[in-house]
Structure 1
Amino acid sequence: MKRSLLKKLQKWRDDTARKEGVESYRVLSNNTLEEIVEVKPTTDVELLKIKGIKEKKCTRYGNDIIAIVTGVDDVTTENTIRNDSLFSSGKDRHYSVGEYLDILNECIAENARVVGEVSSIDFKDNYLFFTMKDKQDGSMLKCFMWARDYKMCGVNIEEGLEIIAGGVPEIYKPTGNLTFRARGVELVGEGALKKAYEKLKIKLSREGLFAPERKRSIPEFPERIGLITSATGAVIHDFQSNLGHYGYHVEFFNSRVEGQSAARDLLVGITYFQDKDVDVIVIIRGGGSIESLQAFNNEMVVRAITASTAPVMCGIGHDKDIPLASLAADVAVSTPTAAAVLLGRGWEGALNDLRVFEREMISAFERVLDLHRGRIERSAAIIKELLGGIVKTVDRFYYDLETALANIKYNLEYIKRSVLENSVRLVHEWSGMLRRAGDRVTTAEKVISSVDPKRQLKLGYSIVSKKEGGIISSVRDVAVGGNIVIQVVDGTIDSRVEAIKII
């Protein structure tokens, strides 16, 4: 609910600012609108309590705000002056001069566009005064303008020049004089506009702003596009429908493209995209006369285009003279549609190349296939014939294998029977041989046991050997004083020969 009300208030605020030729925040700030949504005022007293709304704005916009808050559908952005609240109906009510002038200023504070001839002009540091004269009856209107607004207009005011000034009237309280506070000026008549166009064109051309060598190329495959144009009208839809589906990321900046505030919007838009990572800035507008294209012949706009960090493309329709913005742009085309088509040319070309490459690959494959079709068919026939021979050979081999296996099976059965019969016979023969061998072993053990030295030792005998080794079997093997070793059943005895007797 609150979001819906805020959107309604923002739309009313933006429409009102557009009609008055001012920035939206000069009507009401976003913070003020948000507080209105929270408070939902239904009377002037409640409205005046909101920060950002003084008596002047309450008088000027109160009816519209309250109507939107209370749900009245037929709210317009025409400023409604509630005269019944300005003056008291009491007979004895009186006003100070300041109060009365404030009330008068509230009554006359309507945005207007006034046509007249410049009869005098006085430039100061930060502002200027000039007087407009009616060529028919000689009426005079004194005007005031800030230097920044004058510079933004891109028009050089001279005496005798017919202009249109846009702004609001105001009674200057210190002097009581009526002054028209101009926010923008523009030239009247195609001749004057043409003259100003040519003069500025020569000036900027001499500075090299239109020189071909200064221009940068647009990326062949742009991905991120910064688009500056009006959100209303068919131009943006024509651009989008002709842009192609190549995965673009398009960031849009809504800008007026005609009128005294258009140049300011264009400058803000170009500045906005300087901090954005875009491949190209695109400025588009439909066709129009030199009068309607004044914003695109603005010196500040042209200089902003040439100073842009990203390349700029202009797609601005025109009758005869090419807008100076297009001359300064890195790439210029005559329509928004042409701009969209040009951006997609690289992608379309790459897509066409892929299609051609695909067709060429298929054709080349078909040619190779046709060239080798006969060879493939002959090879297939040979392979088929060879396979037939191989099958026959395999069949014969399989038959021979079955026959051989059958023979092997028969032979194995025969061998099995023979082995079984021979095994029984061999078992009997080996049994007899083993018994006889066992008897022989027993006899040998007895013989060995009878001559075993250890057995003799157990019987009380001993074995005498030299100390250095060798059995002593005769007295001749030793000498008196020699060392001998006597081995008995449970150890050895070291002895020395004292005497020798020969038997």
Structure 2
Amino acid sequence: MSQIAFDLDVDDGGTPTYTVAELGEAINGALRRSFSDGVWVSGEIQGWNKSSAGHIYFNLVETVEHTGAKATLRVAFFAGAQHGPRDRFRRAGLKLGEGLRVRVFGTLDFFAGSGQLTLKMSDIDPRFTLGALALQRDDVIRRLVAGGLFDANRRCHLSPVPLRLGVVARVGSAAWADFVHEIERSTFGFHLVVADVRVQGEAAVTMVSGAIREFGRRRDIDVVVVIRGGGARTELATFDHEAIAMAIAESARPVFTGLGHEIDRSVADAVAFRALKTPTACAASLVERVAEYNGAVEECWQVICSRADHATVRHSERITEVAAGLGVRATSALDRSEERLHHRGGRVRESAMRAVAQSAAHLAVAAAAIGRSPARLDVELRTVAGLETQLRLLDPVNTMARGWSITRGSDGRAIRDVAVIHSGDVLVTSFSTGTATSRVESTERLAAPHPVKEPAP
């Protein structure tokens, strides 16, 4: 069986071969020679982590322009090197933390154990961070101005009595306590609806902007209030974020800010309807607004009362004058009426007396006439008696008592001629002792009798 032949004659041209440890040492040597005095590096802090020993570790990250790729450098900020740099950073009103753009100084070290290049940080440039924050802030403001949103919230209508407040704050914080204390101290009937949010850290921007948008849409809110306590300038950077600025600019309700900074002014302050220095000042401004309205109402009420009193006095005097005039006129009218009544009473008495006299004369004439007519009355009485006798003889009741009857049709009319009845008609015959109902079987018409003259009465 044949064996495979290997050509192991490698010509490396004299290039040395390093072990991993040797290569690590060579890299560190090259770094020390090239960056013997240290190096300044700028980027954004990501992955911030503080160990129990006080050491701080994070990555400096930069997004490469055009390609969008990320470049990352590991940074170690040991506890023993932190005192001076952190004090300078703090005096500038800044605080190291996640998302901050920084320019840091240190020495490069390649750790062969992990194969990682690390910058051992020993200093920091606060001016760079302040400039970066200012650039970010100016960029946000520039975009708001270009979109016509920079002063949009200041065009909102502010209620003259802003009692219904939507408060965006960290409940339990000193800022919240100060705000509530000032509101309660006013004794006005404020109604607070609070959104408990984070005001710093990764979730702060999302929570604050979301709460502002929610309150800005509600019709039962007069003013949206955004407050937080004091802190480092970098912590205030949360309120430089474009998302919060846009939420304020697009709110349909005026936004008041009280972010706890006496000197620095955030983008949120710049676009808000009104920016106050502290939560207490923010509450005081709202209280003052309500107090002004209350004072104006009281003043108007005093004016109304004063004018009402003056009008009442004037009208009372006028009523007194009119009443006096009416009294005089009424007395005069009564006097004139009494005179006319007396005059007309006399005329009535005279007329009555003449009428009585005339009636007495007529009565005397009538009495004399009655005295002359007894004989004529006797004749008339005898005539009436004769007519009464004839009428009694012609009464149907008396006639039927002598054997006569009266027959009526269904309509109640007396039947005087056989021609008006027909077979099947129902007839009612009345006798002196009662009535009888019959139905017609047939009719027969007789020759007309000679008319008989009735005797003269």
| TM-score (ref. length: structure 1) | 0.44
Which one has a bigger Cα radius of gyration?
2
Higher relative CO (CA 8 A, sep ≥ 6), structure 1 or 2?
2
| TM-score (ref. length: structure 2) | 0.47
